[in-house]
Structures are given as structure tokens and as C-alpha cells.
Amino acid sequence: MMYRKKSSPGADENAFNTSISDLMAGLLGIFVLALVYFMINIGEVKQEYTGSMDKRDKILQEVEGEMEKRGVKVQIDKKQGVLRIPESVLFESGEASIKSEGQTAVSELGNALYQILQKDDYKNAVETIFIEGHTDNVPIENDYFHSNWELSTQRAINTWNLMREDTNGLDDLRNPNGQPMFSCSGYADTRPVTDDGLDEDSEEGRSANRRIDLRFAMMPPKDNDSK
């Protein structure tokens, strides 16, 4: 007659505890691997983002330097990625037509942009350059413009039309997605200049806000899953 050895309750409990411990160790290992993978990806994205911002700064600096050589002073804001054409040469109050001295500045800017954006260092780096029109805070209502929104948008469009007409090939520039690189938008008087210390209700402040800003948006970091 054979006798089956009975397992003690203590032995079953130890085996159960061992299984749970193995399971927890396995889950911890998976978590650590996932965390490491996540941290590596975050590091790569941060590096790409930093590199993109560095390129944007260099583009702005090169455009500023090139315009200075051409006798035109522009303002740059690296933090916002904005290049501003001197407001004093662009528009009269309530007008969308660019003044004669402003036409020279805009034409030179278009030429400088095309020359710099064609460089190998900057190809496929820029997603969009927004040409942003702005107005002073004087309300407008006439046969041409029913509001400052229409006026500011038309200012941006007129600026772009002048740039592309005077610089062959500028209109053909595309971002890596095959989309046109330049875009126009109007902000009326909703985004006044705030870093010049001028009162936007003064004549000087209003003149400063009748402006065109070029805002550079760089290509976002690549999705690792799409590489």
C-alpha cells in the first residue's frame, strides 16, 4: 500500500509567496524597462526641440544681419520667434497700402529670407512663417474696411504679395510636409506691443502697433514610431 505524503500548510504558503514575489519582480522589471525607454525618448525629443529652437535663433540672427547690410533695421524677439519690420515705414493709420519706404524694406526682407532659407543648414527646419498684420486701437468703418480685423489681415496679405512679387521662388518654398511655408493672418489691435514702454493710446504707441510681424514656427520633433 502506497501512502501519499501530505504537504504542510506552511509549504503551500511558502510556494504561494514565492510565486507572488516572482510576479512582482517581473512586473518591476517591465516597469523599469518602460521607464528607461520613456526617458530615452524624452531625452531625444528635448534634444530635437532644443536644436530646432537654436536653428530658429540662427535664422533670425542671419536675417537681421543681412537686412542691416542692406540698410534696413529690423527687430527680432528670440523668445517669441518673431521678426518685426520697422513700423514707422509701413502704414498710415487706417491704410493697408505699404508706404514707399516700406516697400523697399519689405522687398529686401523677402529677398533675404529666400537667400537664407535656401541654405542647407535650414532646409526642412521651418514649418510655417506667419505674416501677421496688426493695427492701432483706433476703430475703423469705411467703404474698404468694416473693422480692424479686415484692415490687419489686408496688411498681411499686401506684405506677402509684395514679398513674393519681388522675389522669384519665394512663393514656391515648401515645408517638409509639402505645404506652402508662408501664411497670412490678422490680429487687429488685440496684440499691441508691450515691451516698448509706450502708451497704446498715444500717437507713438499707435504708430508702433501699425506693424507686420513674421513669426517663425519650426518643424516639431519627429515621432519615433514613424521613423
Model confidence pLDDT, tens digit, residues 89-145 = 788 888 999 998 899 999 999 999 999 999 998 988 999 999 999 999 999 988 899
Cα–Cα distance, 48 to 39 (Å, whole number):
14
Flag whether pLDDT at 14 surpasses 80.
no
- Which of 13-22, 65-74, 215-224 has the lowest average pLDDT? 13-22
- Which of 40-44, 60-64, 112-116, 168-172 has the lowest average pLDDT? 40-44
- Which of 35-39, 94-98, 142-146, 161-165 has the lowest average pLDDT? 35-39
Q: What percent of the chain has pLDDT over 70?
A: 77
Please tell me the predicted confidence (pLDDT) of residue 226: 47
Confidence band for 201, pLDDT divided at 50, 70 and 90: confident
Please tell me the predicted confidence (pLDDT) of residue 85: 87
Instruction: Give the mean model confidence (pLDDT) for residues 149-156.
Output: 96
Q: Residue 217 burial by CB count (10 A; 0-12/13-18/19+): exposed, middle or buried?
A: middle
Q: Tell me how crowded residue 201 is: count the other CB atoms within 10 A of its CB.
A: 11
Torsion angle in degrees (nearest 10) through CA of 61, 66, 71, 76: -20
- Which of 23-37, 87-101, 105-119, 195-209 has the lowest average pLDDT? 23-37
Please tell me the predicted confidence (pLDDT) of residue 194: 81
Whole-model pTM: value is: 0.76
Instruction: Give the mean model confidence (pLDDT) for residues 185-213.
Output: 88
